[in-house]
């Protein structure tokens, strides 16, 4: 792979990643030596710094990730604390409900139920502290499993998950449950 292509591939993958991406994983993906990948990422990071970009490519927790430049934290905080939505969207609430009733549950399982990619919504709920990673599934890729947090219980005025309303009272009938089980299987049907 050319230097140019390698740099672009690193940029693309790290841009869409939710967690820091390890050089080892990228080396596998690109079929390149891990040292070369790591050096290319470090070179990119220098380029951004030199060009005074508003973001940095940072080496964090054993991997590379994009984040905002510390010099611009004032704007980022203003953005994060903007007074836009006081309420969760329907999509976010439904996703939270799925996590609450189906925990532990993976992103892919939620996506299969909701029929759309839920990465952004899961991220939002995670960052607001309503859900958290509680483990990993055994299957291929060992996807992260999510569950609700103490904060979630607190906000809903619940002592424990056992106090959630029994979902049977809200479901139309036994057929729906069967269908639900079927759709909870990993995608790829």
Partner 1 sequence: MAVEVSTPVFEGPIDLLLHLVNTHEVDVRDVPLAPVVDGFVAALAEGRSRYSMDVLSEFLLVAAILVELKSQALLPGPDEVEPEDELVGWDQRDLLLSRLLECRAYAAVADTLAKMAEAAACSVPRVAGLEDDVVVHAPDLLRGVTPDRLARAFAAAVAPRPEPRIDLSHVTVVDTVTVSEAVEELAVELPRRRRATFAELTEHLTAKIEVIVRFLALLELCKLGRVTLGQGRSFGQLEIEWVGEDEPVGVGALVVDEYRG
The structure tokens listed for 179 are 């269908």
Work out what residue 162 binds among a copy of itself, partner 1, none; the CB cut-off runs from 5 to 8 Å by kind: none
Q: Any contact of residue 66 with partner 1 (CB under 8 A)?
A: yes
Q: Which of 7, 45, 143, 145 binds partner 1 (CB under 8 A)?
A: 143
Q: How far is the CB of 76 from partner 1 (least distance, A)?
A: 5
Can you tell me the distance from the alpha carbon of 81 to that of 153, in angstroms, rounded to the nearest whole number? 23
Site for a copy of itself in 82-101 (CB under 8 A): 82, 84, 91
Work out what residue 139 binds among partner 1, a copy of itself, none; the CB cut-off runs from 5 to 8 Å by kind: none
Q: How far is the CB of 72 from a copy of itself (least distance, A)?
A: 4
Q: Any contact of residue 59 with a copy of itself (CB under 8 A)?
A: no
Site for partner 1 in 32-51 (CB under 8 A): none
Among residues 16 and 133, whose Cβ is nearest to partner 1? 16
Can you spell out the DSSP letters for the chain?
--HHHHHHHHHHHHHH-SSPBPHHHHHHHHTS-HHHHHHHHHHHHHHHHHTT-SEEEEEETTEEEEEE-GGGHHHHHHHHT----SS--HHHHHHHHHHHHH-SEEHHHHHHHHTS--HHHHHHHHHTTSEEEEEE-SSTT--EEEEE-HHHHHHHT-SSGGGSPPGGGTSS-HHHHHHHHHHHSPS--
Work out what residue 152 binds among a copy of itself, partner 1, none; the CB cut-off runs from 5 to 8 Å by kind: partner 1
Work out what residue 161 binds among a copy of itself, partner 1, none; the CB cut-off runs from 5 to 8 Å by kind: none
Work out what residue 37 binds among a copy of itself, partner 1, none; the CB cut-off runs from 5 to 8 Å by kind: none
Q: How far is the CB of 176 from a copy of itself (least distance, A)?
A: 14
């Amino acid at each position: 792979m050319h230097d140019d292509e390698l740099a672009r591939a690193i940029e693309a993958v790290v841009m869409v990643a939710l967690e820091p991406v390890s050089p080892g994983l990228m080396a596998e993906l690109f079929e390149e030596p891990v040292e070369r990948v790591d050096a290319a990422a470090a070179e990119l990071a220098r380029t951004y710094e030199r060009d005074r970009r508003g973001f940095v490519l940072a080496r964090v927790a054993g991997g590379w990730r994009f984040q905002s430049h510390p010099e611009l934290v004032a704007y980022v905080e203003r953005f994060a604390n903007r007074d836009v939505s006081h309420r969760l969207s329907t999509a976010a609430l439904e996703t939270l409900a799925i996590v609450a009733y189906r925990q532990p549950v993976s992103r892919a399982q939620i996506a299969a139920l909701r029929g759309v990619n839920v990465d952004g919504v899961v991220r939002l709920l995670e960052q607001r502290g309503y859900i958290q990673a509680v483990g990993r599934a055994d299957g291929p890729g060992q996807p992260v499993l999510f569950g609700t947090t103490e904060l979630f219980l607190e906000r809903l005025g619940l002592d424990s998950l056992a106090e959630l309303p029994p979902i049977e009272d809200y479901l139309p009938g036994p057929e729906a449950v069967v269908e639900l089980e079927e759709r909870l299987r990993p995608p790829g049907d």
